[in-house]
Each structure stands twice: as C-alpha cells, then as structure tokens.
Amino acid sequence: MFPLHRGRRLRQNQSIRSLVSETTLSPSDFMFPMFIAEGENIKVEIPSMPGIFRRSIDLTIEEVKELFALGIRAVNIYVKVDESLKDNTGKEAWNPNGLMQQAIKAIKKACPEMIVMPDVALDPYSIYGHDGIIKNGDIENDATVEALVKMAVSHAEAGADFVAPSDMMDGRVLRLRQGLDAAGFTNVGIMSYSAKYASAFYGPFRDALDSAPKETGEVVPKDKKTYQMDYANRIEAIKEAVWDAEEGADMVMVKPGIAYLDIVREVKNAVNIPVTVFHVSGEYAMIKAAAEKGWLDHDKIMMEQLMCIKRAGASLISTYFAKEAAILLTSQSYQ
C-alpha cells in the first residue's frame, strides 16, 4: 500500500478543513491598545502606525462603542502626558484627575461592559522615559514598585477592571495585589506583562507616546535592558511567568508576539492561568509598510499572524489589528 498515509484527505476542501481546524479566532480574542491625548475632538494618526490614532477622550469613547459592537471586549489604554507634567517620581501617574483616570471613568461610563486595562508603568510620566524612578544613575526597583501601587489603586478608583503592569520591576505583582486588596479592590484583576523583552519592536509605540529613553545629559541608563528581558533567554521567561502567577497575577503576558511564539507555548505549559500575547507596534508597522508597497497581502498576513499567536497558546491577543480583524471575521466574504 502506497502511500501509507494520506494526510491530504483532511485538506481536500474548505468544508473538511473547517471540520478539523484546531484553532479558531473570534473578536473576543482581541484586546485593542488605545492611545489617549489631552483636549477635545483630537484624532492624530501615528506616522509609523498608519490607521492608529491618538484620540482625545470624547473621540475615544465613540471608538470604544464601535469596538464593543464588533465583539471586542477589552481595551488596553496608554496616555500621552504633557511634558510639563513629567518628573522623576512619576507622581502625575496617580493624580485622581489625571488623563488616564479621566479616560478610565469616561470609557466605563460610556460602555460599562468593556473591560478596561490601563497600563501601569511610569515611562509616559518620566522625564527620562524610563519605567522606574532614577537614583544615582540606576533604576530604584522598590521605590518604583511603591509608586506603581499608588498608580494602580488610582486606576481602580477610576473604575479599571484590570491593571496591566508593563514595567518589569521585581516584586510588583505581589505589592499590587496587596495594595489593591487593602484599598478594597479585591475584584480588580492583574494582567502582568511577565515576559517582556527589551525589544526594538516597541519603536512606533514610543513615537506615539513620546516615551523613548531620552538624552538629558544626566547619567541614566540609555535603554531598558536592566529590567526588560534579554531576547536570548527562554528559561528566564518561564521563571518570570511562574513568579507572577505565584504573586497573584490573574493573567500573564508574553511580549512581543510573532518572534516569541516558542516562549508563548512554554509559558502556556508552565502556568495554569490565561496567557496573553502583545502583538506590538513594530509588528503592526512591518505589515502595514509591506502591504503599502504591495509586497504582502495585508489581510492574509494579519489573519495568519493572529491565528498563529492563538495556536501557540494565547488566550488573548493585544493587537492594533483588533478592529480590522474583527471586521473581517464578521464579514460575509471572509470564510
């Protein structure tokens, strides 16, 4: 008998392929990262992220309603902070009337069922563009963690469903859990950016928020490599994810996405809580740029990457493609 196996039997038409498909995508698999700006009626496109905008709160809530109608159930939010409000302590981060806190309140009011996950990290508030407080030319881990607790509690007070620490300081998940509980927010969850690599794929995001580490003439670390992970490492990612789960994270995250799918699978196998993946700004920019040149098929590449991230073990994908992919998934023509 030749051949012994005929794997092609299960691939011979779309109906059979759909019967044996191992992975599916739906709009509720996605979280949409949103950039918030001061002001009213503001909608500014990020040059390195075509189709992605910084919006003032009024326009943000209109967009959130559209996302919800498309089946998207979570948004990650990031704010662009005025230069005059930045310092080394990051204290604007826990201003009860700060832009982030106002945005959380407005989104929850306009669309109460949308899960709101504000970013917890000091970089948009830091004069140095770092995720930590600087002392003697170095990041002060424990003092930064205490600042993050104040920040997270202020997000919870504004109505956040989850807080999403993206700073990579040691011990922050435990202190955030304790701080939220002590303030009475036992139901506010923590989605921890556990395995966050020091990656050049974050470039367009830093353009969007003007949050790249800055040359100030003072002695500060020139990059984020003392806290974000070395992309040569794998075991370290598992260790970080397991620690965060033990400290009380409800979900862990691996970031970036496509170049890190081995890590996604290993983390998935190592923890028994949902794994989220951030398909980051640079990954978005690459697809947009290649599609603009006519070198790649935009929609096909977008869906392939999202499906592969899910197949690797993601329960949720934070992606700038969330809206476009949700529209495509719900359209008649995409089957």
- Residue 194 touches ligand PBG, criterion: CB under 6 A: no
Catalytic pick among 86, 108, 196, 310: 196
- Residue 280 touches ligand PBG, criterion: CB under 6 A: yes
Q: Which of residues 243-272 bind ligand PBG (CB under 6 A)?
A: none
User: CA 110 to CA 87: how far, in whole Å?
Assistant: 32
Q: Which of residues 92-121 bind ligand PBG (CB under 6 A)?
A: 119, 121
- Residue 202 touches ligand PBG, criterion: CB under 6 A: yes
User: CA 324 to CA 335: how far, in whole Å?
Assistant: 15
Smallest gap from residue 284 Cβ to ligand PBG (A): 7
- Residue 206 touches ligand PBG, criterion: CB under 6 A: yes
Catalytic pick among 86, 108, 255, 268: 255
Cβ nearer to ligand PBG, comparing 69 with 289: 289
- Residue 60 touches ligand PBG, criterion: CB under 6 A: no
Cβ nearer to ligand PBG, comparing 11 with 267: 267
Q: Which of 205, 227, 260, 321 binds ligand PBG (CB under 6 A)?
A: 205
- Residue 281 touches ligand PBG, criterion: CB under 6 A: yes
Cβ nearer to ligand PBG, comparing 206 with 265: 206
Smallest gap from residue 81 Cβ to ligand PBG (A): 12
Of 18-26, 134-142, 200-208, 215-223: span binding ligand PBG (CB under 6 A): 200-208
Exposed (0-12), middle (13-18) or buried (19+): which is 232, by Cβ within 10 Å? exposed
Written in H, E and C, the secondary structure of the chain is CCCCCCHHHHHCCHHHHHHHCCCCCCHHHEEEEEEECCCCCCEEEECCEEEEEEECHHHHHHHHHHHHHCCCCEEEEEECCCHHHCECCCHHHHCCCCHHHHHHHHHHHHCCCCEEEEEECCHHHECCCCCCEEECCEEEHHHHHHHHHHHHHHHHHHCCCEEEECCCCCCHHHHHHHHHHHCCCCCCEEEEEEEEECCHHHHHHHHHHCCCCCCCCCCCCCCCCCCCECCCCCHHHHHHHHHHHHHCCCEEEEECCHHHHHHHHHHHHHCCCCEEEEECHHHHHHHHHHHHCCCCCHHHHHHHHHHHHHHHCCCEEEECCHHHHHHHHHCCCCC
Q: Which of residues 130-149 bind ligand PBG (CB under 6 A)?
A: 131
Q: How many residues interact with ligand PBG (rule CB under 6 A)?
A: 12
Cβ nearer to ligand PBG, comparing 77 with 180: 77
CA angle 16, 18, 19 (to 5 degrees): 65
- Residue 240 touches ligand PBG, criterion: CB under 6 A: no
Q: Which of 56, 101, 154, 166 binds ligand PBG (CB under 6 A)?
A: 166
190 strand-pairing partners: 163
240 annotated ligand binder:
yes
For the question of residue 255 being annotated catalytic, the response is: yes
Smallest gap from residue 166 Cβ to ligand PBG (A): 4
Cβ nearer to ligand PBG, comparing 60 with 76: 76
Exposed (0-12), middle (13-18) or buried (19+): which is 1, by Cβ within 10 Å? exposed
For the question of residue 310 being annotated catalytic, the response is: no
Smallest gap from residue 167 Cβ to ligand PBG (A): 6
| Annotated binding-site members | 240
Catalytic site positions: 196, 255
| Annotated binding-site members for Mg(2+) | 240
Binding positions for ligand PBG, rule: CB under 6 A: 119, 121, 123, 131, 166-167, 202, 205-206, 224, 280-281
